[in-house]
Amino acid sequence: MIRRDLIKNLSVLPLAGTFLPLESVVGPASGPLKTGPNIYESIGVDPVINCVGTYTIIGGSLERPAVVEAAHAAAGHFVQYDELAFGIGRRLAEITGAEWGMVSAGCAAGMKHVTAACVAGGNPEKMVRIPDLTGFDKTEVVIPKSSRNAYDHAIRNIGVRIITVNTLEELGKALSPRTAMIYIMTGADTEPGREFAEDKIAALAKPLNIPFLVDAAAEDLTVPNVHLQRGATVVAYSGGKALCGPQCAGLLLGSKAILMSAWQASSPHHGTGRDNKVGKEEMMGMLAAVEDWVTRDHDEKMRTWHTYLENISKKVTGIKGIKTSIREPHSLNNRSPMLAISWDPEQFNITGPEVGEILATTKPRIAVHSGFGDQEGSTSILISAGQMQPGNDKTVADRIYEILNKKYPKPAPMKAPAADLSGRWAVDIEYYSSKSQHVFILEQDGNWIQGSHKGDFSLREMTGTIDGDQVKLFSTERMIADNVPFTFSGKLANDVISGEIYLGEYIRANFTAKRNGYKGTRRQIRYPKGQPLSS
């Protein structure tokens, strides 16, 4: 499962994409902060067993002991940050074979700094004017449509014009003296031989001296670096993913000239990157993560992960009707084996998403992927081993066995609708610090609803159900690199629907929908017989 697919399918994450009452997963603070193994519980927050991968929303990855040790040692001294950055840059170059290296405040921050470097060229007079690019020569970034993603906000924040292209030919034609940079996120379309293979892009970029940035955030680090070998100018990694470094650090490797300019655009220097501060502890921790990576036994790591999945499989297949299979990783992205646990939902009367929700909201809390199985009529959960810790396999196996070994009643049929919701509805939405007015236009067929949802900026399709007086509606605001889901759950009373909106990663809001009885002016329409004589 590549990073782009994971971004597009965040709804499969129980912790990030299931409709849950917030109170069901976050209780009241139970007392003052207490350091130690129960540090999170001391403030009323339960930790999570990570069986999904390196998601920032649940902490990415756990730092390796060498990383913790280096960060702790770095915390005890003052140091001049430019000197530290240059020392780390030299050492990263020695370890990886890249021309230079830099530590940023996360991968996205690194992308922002590199864009600023390409736009300003290391000229401080230009750098402090970002994002006002008036008078700048380099103001455009070219991105293949298949690489557009939520993280390219980091690039857009610099104020550049994004030129989205669909083919390699279009990319070549889009390059001009105004082009500051080309950006791609690694994925199927960027593999060797594919439309946007890195060597093909480099062949277009290098003769024009246009920098080429590769976003490999969730990939395993390769030494020598495969992306730089294929022609990338700079490659960016997340520190808190496969490298198991600091969650709030990123790794940039490549051109020394570009990375020196990127460091100018990073804190502690003032300007566009001052808000992306990376501390001396994270900088040394990130270097320690790379040092550790190149000496770690990765074959042994993979064998351990397989053992975890085999132990879970052995336990759960003791239940009649449960099938398992191990899916091997096929790319550098999120490189971890996964265990698929599938079953017939008609036989068990419970689906994969429902099991995922139970695992996410009851102790011990376990994050898993869930969805449809490999075969028609099956459902499943997926266990990723990459971030599991010793002992997690037994806990996970026992808990899944406990859930799937229970008897569940068949789902109750929906109740007769309390009313017909067909028509136009005026919707008031209360966000945390503002309000909006939306519109529903609904059609109802029994318990099923379809229609449209007019939001602040667009009109999109809406689907839903009415079960007695309980109304659930869904729409999504889709943009080229972003997706905002709206899941409405409310109760109907006296022609008013009121309740809560689940907004995915953007948490929640409240809403009230009232039937709009307004009727427009009625007039007959005259169909002209001839063409106009004036206009």
Q: What is the CATH number of the domain that holds 14?
A: 3.90.1150.180
- What is the model's pLDDT at position 17? 38
Residue 236 sits at φ, ψ, to 5 deg, of -115, 135
Q: Are residues 371 and 272 in the same domain?
A: no
Q: Are residues 172 and 97 in the same domain?
A: yes
Which CATH number do you get for residue 182?
3.40.640.10
Q: Are residues 289 and 309 in the same domain?
A: no
Give the residue numbers spanning the domain of 35: 3-47+298-404
Two tokens, residue 501: 């909106």
Q: Are residues 257 and 334 in the same domain?
A: no
Q: Are residues 173 and 308 in the same domain?
A: no
Q: For residue 110, which of 223, 301, 241, 224 has the smallest C-alpha distance?
A: 241
Q: Flag whether 152 is in a domain.
A: yes
* 513 within 8 A of 426, measured Cβ to Cβ: yes
CB neighbours of residue 387 within 10 Å: 25
Q: Are residues 170 and 319 in the same domain?
A: no
- What is the model's pLDDT at position 27? 57
Partnered with residue 428 across adjacent β-strands are 437, 512
Q: Flag whether 531 is in a domain.
A: no
* 172 within 8 A of 193, measured Cβ to Cβ: no
Q: Are residues 204 and 83 in the same domain?
A: yes
Q: Are residues 285 and 306 in the same domain?
A: no
Q: Are residues 70 and 218 in the same domain?
A: yes
Domain count, the chain: 3
Q: Are residues 378 and 352 in the same domain?
A: yes
Which CATH number do you get for residue 448?
2.40.128.120
- What is the model's pLDDT at position 354? 96
Q: Are residues 289 and 302 in the same domain?
A: no
Q: Flag whether 60 is in a domain.
A: no
In tens digits, the chain (535 residues) has pLDDT values of 455 454 444 433 444 334 444 554 555 566 899 999 999 999 999 999 999 999 999 999 999 999 999 999 999 999 999 999 999 999 999 999 999 999 999 999 999 999 999 999 999 999 999 999 999 999 999 999 999 999 999 999 999 999 999 999 999 999 999 999 999 999 989 999 999 999 999 999 999 999 999 999 999 999 999 999 999 999 999 999 999 999 999 999 999 999 999 999 999 999 999 999 999 999 999 999 999 999 999 999 999 999 999 999 999 999 999 999 999 998 898 899 999 999 999 999 999 999 999 999 999 999 999 987 667 789 999 999 999 999 999 999 999 999 999 999 998 999 999 999 999 999 999 999 999 999 999 999 999 999 999 999 999 999 999 999 999 999 999 999 999 999 999 999 999 999 999 999 999 999 999 998 767 788 899 899 899 988 7
Q: What is the CA radius of gyration of the chain?
A: 26
Q: Flag whether 347 is in a domain.
A: yes
* 450 within 8 A of 463, measured Cβ to Cβ: yes
Give dist(CA 319, CA 312) in Å, integer: 12
Q: Flag whether 410 is in a domain.
A: no
* 9 within 8 A of 353, measured Cβ to Cβ: no
Q: Which of 293, 311, 337 is the last residue in one of the domains?
A: 293
Two tokens, residue 352: 């994969």
Integer CA distances (angstroms), 109 to 124, 179, 236, 239, 497, in order: 19, 21, 10, 11, 42
- What is the model's pLDDT at position 439? 97
Q: Are residues 105 and 177 in the same domain?
A: yes
- What is the model's pLDDT at position 12? 37
